[in-house]
Amino acid sequence: MIAPPLDLPAALADVVAAYEASGNVGALMERLHHLRDTATPDALVAAAEPWLHMPEVAGPLYERVVEDQPGNARALVILANAYWLSGRGPEVVGDLANRALAADPQNRGAWHMWALTEGNQRDRTVRWLQVTQRFPDDMLAKAALADNAASLAAAEHDKEALDLAIGAYEELWNNSPTEPQRAALETALNTLRNYTF
Protein backbone atom coordinates (compact mmCIF):
# COMPACT_ATOMS: atom_id res chain seq x y z
CA MET A 1 0.00 0.00 0.00
CA ILE A 2 1.30 3.46 -0.94
CA ALA A 3 1.30 6.04 1.84
CA PRO A 4 -0.79 9.14 1.15
CA PRO A 5 1.15 12.36 0.47
CA LEU A 6 2.06 14.30 3.60
CA ASP A 7 -0.15 17.26 4.46
CA LEU A 8 2.81 19.39 5.56
CA PRO A 9 0.87 22.32 7.07
CA ALA A 10 -1.27 19.94 9.15
CA ALA A 11 1.77 17.88 10.17
CA LEU A 12 3.63 21.02 11.21
CA ALA A 13 0.63 22.25 13.18
CA ASP A 14 0.59 18.89 15.02
CA VAL A 15 4.31 19.21 15.79
CA VAL A 16 3.86 22.73 17.19
CA ALA A 17 0.79 21.71 19.22
CA ALA A 18 2.71 18.79 20.75
CA TYR A 19 5.61 21.11 21.59
CA GLU A 20 3.33 23.72 23.15
CA ALA A 21 1.67 21.01 25.25
CA SER A 22 4.92 19.38 26.41
CA GLY A 23 7.63 22.05 26.16
CA ASN A 24 9.96 19.28 24.99
CA VAL A 25 12.50 21.04 22.75
CA GLY A 26 14.35 17.82 21.90
CA ALA A 27 11.17 16.19 20.59
CA LEU A 28 10.35 19.37 18.65
CA MET A 29 13.77 19.38 16.95
CA GLU A 30 13.53 15.70 16.08
CA ARG A 31 10.09 16.10 14.52
CA LEU A 32 11.04 19.30 12.68
CA HIS A 33 14.15 17.69 11.23
CA HIS A 34 12.07 14.76 10.04
CA LEU A 35 9.55 17.09 8.38
CA ARG A 36 12.17 19.28 6.75
CA ASP A 37 13.98 16.25 5.35
CA THR A 38 10.80 15.02 3.64
CA ALA A 39 9.65 18.31 2.08
CA THR A 40 10.79 20.70 -0.61
CA PRO A 41 12.05 24.16 0.43
CA ASP A 42 9.06 25.84 -1.22
CA ALA A 43 6.66 23.58 0.69
CA LEU A 44 8.51 24.41 3.92
CA VAL A 45 8.23 28.14 3.24
CA ALA A 46 4.47 27.88 2.75
CA ALA A 47 3.92 25.62 5.76
CA ALA A 48 6.12 27.67 8.09
CA GLU A 49 4.37 30.99 7.47
CA PRO A 50 2.04 30.80 10.52
CA TRP A 51 4.99 29.91 12.77
CA LEU A 52 7.54 32.58 11.87
CA HIS A 53 7.03 34.20 15.28
CA MET A 54 8.44 31.05 16.91
CA PRO A 55 12.22 31.01 16.35
CA GLU A 56 12.49 27.44 17.63
CA VAL A 57 10.21 26.40 14.75
CA ALA A 58 11.23 28.83 12.01
CA GLY A 59 14.97 28.35 12.56
CA PRO A 60 15.26 24.63 11.83
CA LEU A 61 12.90 24.84 8.86
CA TYR A 62 14.65 27.82 7.31
CA GLU A 63 18.07 26.24 7.77
CA ARG A 64 16.93 23.77 5.12
CA VAL A 65 15.48 26.51 2.90
CA VAL A 66 18.70 28.55 3.05
CA GLU A 67 20.79 25.44 2.43
CA ASP A 68 18.88 24.75 -0.79
CA GLN A 69 18.31 28.41 -1.76
CA PRO A 70 21.43 30.33 -0.62
CA GLY A 71 20.46 33.40 -2.65
CA ASN A 72 16.95 33.71 -1.18
CA ALA A 73 17.17 37.03 0.69
CA ARG A 74 13.82 36.63 2.44
CA ALA A 75 14.77 33.18 3.71
CA LEU A 76 18.14 34.49 4.91
CA VAL A 77 16.42 37.29 6.84
CA ILE A 78 13.88 34.92 8.41
CA LEU A 79 16.68 32.60 9.50
CA ALA A 80 18.72 35.56 10.81
CA ASN A 81 15.73 36.76 12.81
CA ALA A 82 15.09 33.28 14.24
CA TYR A 83 18.74 32.99 15.21
CA TRP A 84 18.73 36.46 16.79
CA LEU A 85 15.63 35.73 18.84
CA SER A 86 17.06 32.43 20.00
CA GLY A 87 20.34 34.06 21.09
CA ARG A 88 22.69 32.85 18.38
CA GLY A 89 24.68 36.09 18.51
CA PRO A 90 25.63 38.98 16.24
CA GLU A 91 28.38 37.25 14.25
CA VAL A 92 26.19 34.46 12.88
CA VAL A 93 23.22 36.78 12.40
CA GLY A 94 25.35 39.51 10.84
CA ASP A 95 26.76 37.03 8.33
CA LEU A 96 23.24 36.03 7.30
CA ALA A 97 22.23 39.71 7.03
CA ASN A 98 25.23 40.45 4.81
CA ARG A 99 24.39 37.47 2.60
CA ALA A 100 20.80 38.72 2.31
CA LEU A 101 22.01 42.22 1.37
CA ALA A 102 24.29 40.75 -1.28
CA ALA A 103 21.35 38.77 -2.68
CA ASP A 104 18.89 41.69 -2.57
CA PRO A 105 20.16 45.18 -1.66
CA GLN A 106 16.54 46.42 -1.41
CA ASN A 107 15.50 43.93 1.28
CA ARG A 108 14.54 46.11 4.22
CA GLY A 109 14.62 43.22 6.69
CA ALA A 110 18.23 42.53 5.76
CA TRP A 111 19.11 46.15 6.47
CA HIS A 112 17.37 45.94 9.85
CA MET A 113 19.30 42.81 10.81
CA TRP A 114 22.54 44.42 9.57
CA ALA A 115 22.00 47.45 11.80
CA LEU A 116 20.80 45.44 14.78
CA THR A 117 23.88 43.22 14.90
CA GLU A 118 26.44 46.02 15.23
CA GLY A 119 27.90 45.78 18.73
CA ASN A 120 29.36 49.28 19.02
CA GLN A 121 26.73 51.82 20.13
CA ARG A 122 28.03 54.65 17.93
CA ASP A 123 28.43 52.44 14.87
CA ARG A 124 24.98 50.92 15.45
CA THR A 125 23.48 54.43 15.56
CA VAL A 126 25.22 55.26 12.28
CA ARG A 127 23.88 52.07 10.74
CA TRP A 128 20.31 52.91 11.77
CA LEU A 129 20.79 56.38 10.30
CA GLN A 130 21.85 54.78 7.02
CA VAL A 131 18.76 52.54 7.07
CA THR A 132 16.46 55.54 7.62
CA GLN A 133 18.16 57.41 4.79
CA ARG A 134 17.66 54.43 2.48
CA PHE A 135 14.04 53.89 3.61
CA PRO A 136 12.68 57.31 4.70
CA ASP A 137 9.18 55.98 5.45
CA ASP A 138 10.39 53.14 7.68
CA MET A 139 9.15 54.22 11.10
CA LEU A 140 10.49 51.09 12.81
CA ALA A 141 13.99 52.02 11.67
CA LYS A 142 13.34 55.62 12.72
CA ALA A 143 12.37 54.41 16.21
CA ALA A 144 15.53 52.28 16.41
CA LEU A 145 17.58 55.30 15.33
CA ALA A 146 15.91 57.49 17.96
CA ASP A 147 16.47 54.96 20.74
CA ASN A 148 20.09 54.27 19.78
CA ALA A 149 20.93 57.95 19.38
CA ALA A 150 19.34 58.74 22.77
CA SER A 151 21.35 55.97 24.43
CA LEU A 152 24.53 57.20 22.76
CA ALA A 153 23.84 60.78 23.85
CA ALA A 154 23.33 59.69 27.47
CA ALA A 155 26.31 57.34 27.57
CA GLU A 156 28.82 59.64 25.90
CA HIS A 157 27.31 63.10 26.54
CA ASP A 158 27.19 63.54 22.77
CA LYS A 159 25.30 66.68 21.68
CA GLU A 160 25.14 65.60 18.04
CA ALA A 161 23.58 62.27 19.02
CA LEU A 162 21.12 64.12 21.25
CA ASP A 163 20.06 66.34 18.35
CA LEU A 164 19.73 63.28 16.13
CA ALA A 165 17.53 61.54 18.74
CA ILE A 166 15.30 64.60 19.15
CA GLY A 167 14.88 64.94 15.39
CA ALA A 168 13.99 61.27 15.02
CA TYR A 169 11.49 61.36 17.89
CA GLU A 170 9.90 64.50 16.43
CA GLU A 171 9.44 62.76 13.11
CA LEU A 172 7.92 59.77 14.89
CA TRP A 173 5.57 62.14 16.74
CA ASN A 174 4.52 63.77 13.46
CA ASN A 175 3.71 60.35 11.99
CA SER A 176 2.11 58.85 15.08
CA PRO A 177 -1.44 57.62 14.45
CA THR A 178 -2.68 57.53 18.06
CA GLU A 179 -2.81 59.82 21.05
CA PRO A 180 -1.21 57.27 23.44
CA GLN A 181 1.78 56.98 21.08
CA ARG A 182 2.07 60.75 20.85
CA ALA A 183 1.90 61.07 24.63
CA ALA A 184 4.73 58.54 25.05
CA LEU A 185 6.80 60.33 22.42
CA GLU A 186 6.15 63.70 24.06
CA THR A 187 7.47 62.30 27.33
CA ALA A 188 10.64 61.11 25.60
CA LEU A 189 11.03 64.44 23.80
CA ASN A 190 10.57 66.45 27.00
CA THR A 191 13.22 64.35 28.72
CA LEU A 192 15.68 64.77 25.85
CA ARG A 193 15.03 68.49 25.43
CA ASN A 194 15.74 69.05 29.13
CA TYR A 195 18.85 66.89 29.12
CA THR A 196 21.99 68.73 30.23
CA PHE A 197 25.58 67.60 29.95
Residue extents of the structural domains in the chain:
120-197
Q: What is the pLDDT of residue 2?
A: 38
Spatial separation of the C-alpha atoms in residues 15 and 131, rounded to whole Å = 37
Q: What is the DSSP letter of 138?
A: -
| Cα torsion angle, 3, 56, 138, 97, sign | negative
pLDDT tens string 157-195 = 999 999 999 999 999 999 999 999 999 999 999 999 999
Listed in sequence order, the residues at least 6 apart from 55 whose beta carbon sits closer than 8 Å to its beta carbon are 81, 82, 83, 84, 85, 86
The letter for the amino acid at 147 is D
Do residues 151 and 121 touch, judged by C-beta distance below 8 A? yes
- Position 196 scores a pLDDT of 87
Cβ within 8 Å of residue 140, ≥6 positions away:
112
- Please provide the size of the chain in residues: 197
Mean pLDDT value across residues 106-130 = 98
